[in-house]
Structure 1
Amino acid sequence: MIQNRKLKDLFQLLISLLALVIVIQLLQVYFFRWDLTSEKRYSLSDNTKELVANLNKDLYFEVYLSGDLPYGFIKLQKASLEMIDEMASYSNVRISYSLLSPGDIINPKKRQEFFDQLINRGLNPINLQEKTTDGSLNQRLIVPGIIVHDKEKETSVNLLKSVADLSSDENLNHSIEELEFELTSAIRVLQKTKPKEIAFLTGHGELNEYQVADFTASLLQRYEVRRIKAHDLADGKSNFSALVIAQPREEFSEQDKYNIDQYVMNGGKLLCLVDEVIASMDSLTTKENTMAFFQPLNMEDQLFKYGVRINPDLVMDVQSQLIPVQTALPGQPAKFTPAPWYYSPLLTAPDSHPITRKLNVVKAEFANSIDFVGNSKQITKQVLLASSDYSRLEKVPALISLNIVNKKMSAADFPAGSQNIAVLLEGVFPSVFQNRIWKGMNREKFKSESVATKMIVISDGDIIKNRVRGVGSNRQIEALGYDRYTKNTYGNRSFLLNCVDYLCDDTGWMQLRSREVKLRLLNKTKIQSERLFWQLVNVLLPLLLLLLFAVARFYFRKRKFAGSKQKNIA
């Protein structure tokens, strides 16, 4: 009896070992991963898997988010390393990383030199303030960033996102959501042998190269940038991935319109920042009043044909930028008080689209309203930026006066509701020259309908315009979206970069910006009020369960052996 049981146990052990060996061999041949999270936070997109599976060079990640970090940054560090490990598991080349902590450098001079080097390489250190045990504040620099490089070149990735309306926990969670998009963007930059070309149109009084210098510098990290005339688009011979029309001030000729139209018909992408009203803050720096007037650009029929109309008006908004206003009485020292400048609305963006998800508010200036026109089923339309629900439309010509900041205005003075400022159009567009006879048309190459393409129309050219101070060698370029009065930096640059990325994205990379990782925060108020109860539960409940298990085990063993003893006596 005993011998048969031993043989049976030995047989079961051999079967188990054989099954284990078979499973191990199968796992070496067939690779799979199982993500049990509801939002699939540990799963890579198909695009990312294909990208890393077709790499031709080893990649190395210098991760500078290291050292003694707060818990939120530790989560960001852990998520970054997990993402790199996940990429390495699908890659056909070696992907490795190292953790580096610049703050651990003891020598202050060498530490500062190292931080300066990181800034020059594209990383942005942040000043972290922490409370010490004695209640004082301790400040130190950390670098939430990664430098990715192969054997030939490198690029930087700043991990920390800073959206003004989000809490610190939400910003860190948003940074985790953006990890796959940011890391794959860096890898794609390194892998590209020839970057895509972005063209800025000239010849119609558009913003000059200095007025768009900040945005251009950001584009140059991913694209090649050129400034062209409309005739460079002729005959569909251009290879530009997107065309930027930045605040033209002079009328377009029919020939230029035709070249732009055929560029679109052949699949070209447009980013149009067009004002239909002439008004400028520069005029108000020397006098209290200026005139705003309608100035058509001979593009109205073209945009109308594509599906939008820019109206000759000015959008005023309760949610607006603050400007300093002199409030001191005559004879007293100057005193400046911030007041809302209704002609500079702070635009909100829907959180549902990859271009605008988790985006800081965008600052506009003398923006016009946009209406959708036409009912083509081949074109889908999406609002990207809009004013608040408390807006007002000022028809032109109109007198713009600084005295408006002294007027007491209520919500009833802004009855127009939300107004569209930036819109996205996608689909098949009709040519503005369709069913028209014009001597400049090339009938052999003319296309009356586009292939599937997309365009973004923004009714304010100032959104892309950075401030320029000084001339010549003393010229200084301010950051795009920076307000020197409030010291805020608005989301203009991020919004425009996302626009260009979306227009140039033919394979769905921008959809990674829609990735959502749910933030499951504890209720801090409930924690404080029920702290003692849950402490007692955590300490006493395991002991109580252990005691109950011991009593139950003792009872059943006693009952079992008492029954066996009675049988032996019988």
Structure 2
Amino acid sequence: MKRILYSGTGLLLIALLFLAFNMSTGLLLTGARLDLTQNKLYSISAGTRQILAELKQPLDLYFYFSDSGSKELVPLRGYAMRVQELLKVYEREAGGKIRLHVVDPLPFSDQEDKASEFGLQALPLGQGGAPVYFGLAATDAENHARVIEFFAPDQEELLEYDISRLLQTLANPKRPTLGLLTSLPANGGFDVRTQQKTEPWMLVQELRREFDLQSLKPDTQDIPQDVDVLMLVHPKKLSQPTLYAIDQFVLRGGKLLAFVDPYSEQDSGAEYFGIQSKDKASDLEPLFKAWGIRLQPGKVVGDSLYALFDSSEEDGRPQPRPFSVGVPEAALSDEDPSTAGLEFIALSTAGIIEPVAGASSRFTPLMYSSDSAKAFDADGFDKPADRQQTQRNQELPSQRYVLAARVQGPVQSAFAEGIEGRKDGLKQAEQVNLVVVADSDLLSDRMWLEIRQDASGRQSPQPWSDNMSFVLNTLDNLAGSDTLNSLRSRGPYSRPFVVVDQLRRQAEANFTAKRFALEERLEETEAKLQELQGASTDAQKLNPEQQAAVRQFMQEKNRIRKELREVQYQLNADIDDLGRRLKIVNIALVPVLLSLCMLLVWSLRYLRRKSAVARRRAAAVEAAGNQAG
């Protein structure tokens, strides 16, 4: 048998069997998959499977990627391959209700015209380069279309959520209904002080384009049944019937986005007998208590680390405004669709949200202050001088606070016994979904918009923060089904080189100070050299001592530049050394270890065979001795 295996015929037979095995597994096990990635990046969640199962008609997915025009964009091509693999999983799991078409839109082709017709964005590659398309268009039998204009690599954690949301909005094209209840002039109106008409906030105008917006009165006693999401903006001093209506709306499955505020700068306040009211706070205390959250009463966050800066300058430097907070990407949740992918959200005189001990609901922070934040009393905030005095007088401990949070899970009604005339309401709910933000000023135009003048001289509003994106993301998420809301970030596809990053940071920390010192010496040397050379326009008029000094400074300048190059080289020396070690491990060490393992296995087998031969010989000798006896 061994002779047959080691012969040419045996090797040919093994090769044929190997090819037959590959062909049979490829045909018989086409749908078999094993996803061994840490975050199951090439699998879909149970929520997505439910969305696919609820599709009532076939959908066509057109994945546009400029494969031929992106040869040099290696990271983008890798991400495109992952997107395509995930789309194939959608097609396979949909049971024939999704047809995937992969399109390479060549320049000036019909495919490129179709991509532009869908509204897909093209990534320009500079002057003369062909644009790169990387998006998705979905159509149904009636040619209704929904698109993902461009798959941004920095939002890959939400890839499954974005695709599933696209499918669900196409399968259910009706625009969700948004109910807006506010005590602020967000819808526009008439300013009594200026005697002028005020326009609606830009964010409200955008909401009208995205949703069927219904404005509700602050004294409403019932939330209409067709309202999908209720948005409360500075709900100030709501009556018990209105609170009860909100309570019942949430318990029956309605989604809620609430902007409460310990001190709303947009609240002009009411006048009582000619005296302006100082009460500019809003809260939903009885409802919050039942839902397992709490807004710290009368407390405003001041954050020296995340403070925005005033446009007016004092002593030539912009002055920080600690009560106007710019929350960076690092303090935003990267796992929630409301905040994932956002970079900066601006708030002003924001409050503090915290969970209630023993609550049955789940409290998920979305937005934080820095560790240097302090909680100040909102009583002395009427004038800028009062704010400065408040900040100087209070020496408070610093800590990190939650500025916005999502609440989900089972809750009880805030009115267990109902209210007068309404005793038959819902008492509890197994699953609620609401988002609470401890600031309402972030919705005003000044907190996210500025008017800029373009090249043609026209003035146009330009966003300088992600406030509107945060609101639209949250409303889109809440307006989706519970199945869609259950989808969360799958984690990053890319696996960062942690050791390399640590080495880079350590090298920069070691050499940055030296680099700065050398640059400072170089500036001083160049200044002295320029001073000497500037004394005379003709270098020949310099006396020998000055010429010698010039030569000395030139040599010093060249030497410092050489040291700077050496420092820059040393910044990458440790990383290069790590790369060499990894190459040694991959190229030499692994084969050596495998060879040693093979030698060890061969040695063990050799010793076993030798021991077996010795035992057989001993047995034969013993048997011969017995026969002789």
TM-score by length of 2: 0.62
Note if 1:303 corresponds to 2:303. Answer: no
| RMSD, aligned α-carbons | 5.0
Note if 1:459 corresponds to 2:438. Answer: yes
Corresponding residue for residue 135 of structure 2: 145
CA distance in 1, matches of 2:590, 2:576: 22
Partner amino acid for 2:145? E
Partner amino acid for 2:434? M
Partner amino acid for 1:86? V
CA distance in 2, matches of 1:93, 1:362: 40
Deviations 1:291-338 (A, max 9, x none): 99433557433434433333223211121223322347xxxxxx7x44
What displacement does 1:365 show? 1.3
Verify the 8 A CA contact 2:247 2:414 in the aligned structure 1.
yes
1:326 to 313, 316, 330: 313
CA distance in 2, matches of 1:387, 1:338: 21
Note if 1:154 corresponds to 2:145. Answer: yes
Q: Which moved more, 1:79-88 or 1:429-438?
A: 429-438
2:234 to 208, 223, 247: 247
CA distance in 1, matches of 2:221, 2:414: 16
Corresponding residue for residue 367 of structure 2: 385
1:194 to 1:316, Cα distance in 2 relative to 1, 3 A: same
Corresponding residue for residue 259 of structure 1: 245
Note if 1:176 corresponds to 2:162. Answer: no
Note if 1:394 corresponds to 2:376. Answer: yes
Q: Which has the larger radius of gyration?
A: 2
SS of 2:482's partner is coil
Corresponding residue for residue 79 of structure 1: 82
Verify the 8 A CA contact 2:367 2:404 in the aligned structure 1.
yes
Verify the 8 A CA contact 1:356 1:495 in the aligned structure 2.
no
Verify the 8 A CA contact 1:428 1:451 in the aligned structure 2.
yes
Corresponding residue for residue 60 of structure 1: 61
What displacement does 1:501 show? 0.8
Note if 1:428 corresponds to 2:421. Answer: no
Higher RCO (C-alpha 8 Å, min separation 6): 1
Partner amino acid for 1:426? Q
Partner amino acid for 2:187? N
Match runs of 1:162-311 below 5 Å: 172=153, 174-202=154-182, 204-205=183-184, 207-208=186-187, 211=200, 213-214=202-203, 217=206, 224-229=212-217, 234=222, 238-248=225-235, 250-280=236-266, 293-297=278-282, 299-310=284-295, 311=297
Corresponding residue for residue 375 of structure 1: 358
What displacement does 1:157 show? 0.9
1:447 to 397, 415, 426: 426
Corresponding residue for residue 415 of structure 1: 397
**How many residues are aligned here?**
481
Corresponding residue for residue 343 of structure 2: 360
CA distance in 1, matches of 2:261, 2:46: 41
1:531 to 1:126, Cα distance in 2 relative to 1, 3 A: same
- Sequence identity of aligned pairs in percent? 18
Deviations 1:155-174 (A, max 9, x none): 2214444xxxxxxxxxx3x4
Partner amino acid for 1:458? V
CA distance in 2, matches of 1:50, 1:373: 33
Corresponding residue for residue 35 of structure 2: 35
SS of 1:244's partner is strand
1:447 to 1:339, Cα distance in 2 relative to 1, 3 A: same
1:528 to 576, 581, 588: 576
Note if 1:519 corresponds to 2:520. Answer: no
SS of 2:414's partner is coil
SS of 2:371's partner is coil
Corresponding residue for residue 546 of structure 2: none
What displacement does 1:267 show? 2.7
Verify the 8 A CA contact 1:341 1:405 in the aligned structure 2.
no
TM-score by length of 1: 0.68
Q: Which moved more, 1:340-349 or 1:503-512?
A: 503-512
Deviations 1:432-486 (A, max 9, x none): 3334653xx323x32343453232221111233345889xxxx99846xx33xxx
SS of 1:429's partner is strand
1:251 to 1:36, Cα distance in 2 relative to 1, 3 A: closer
Corresponding residue for residue 498 of structure 1: 474
